Amino acid sequence: MPIYEYKCQKCGTKFELLQNMGATNEGVTCPKCNTPKPVKQFSVFKTSGEGSSGCETGVCPTCNIPSD
């Protein structure tokens, strides 16, 4: 199950939620102010180890974006 990131439209709280793949914001509420239907945020992930894309070396050779 993936972890989705959300942001509350009312108070701005950002939080993560473990949900089934493709889940929506139906039934999700902000843990701080209980406002329903927070906005799902775009999130990225990083891989490392052998066979990775090389992004950990400074600049991703595929997308040309600096790594953190």
Q: Which residue has the higher pLDDT, 63 or 11?
A: 11
Look at residue 55 and tell me whether its pLDDT is greater than 60: no
pTM for the whole thing?
0.62
Res 62: pLDDT? 64
**Over the stretch 10-38, which tens digit does the pLDDT of each residue have?**
999 999 999 998 899 999 999 999 999 99
Measure the CA–CA gap between 63 and 61, rounded to whole angstroms: 6
Question: Which of the pair, 42 or 37, is modelled with greater confidence?
Answer: 37
Q: What are the sequence ranges of the domains in the chain?
A: 1-68
DSSP secondary structure letters along 9-68: TTT--EEEEE--TT--STT-B-TTT--BSPEEPP------STT--SGGGSB-TTT-PBP-
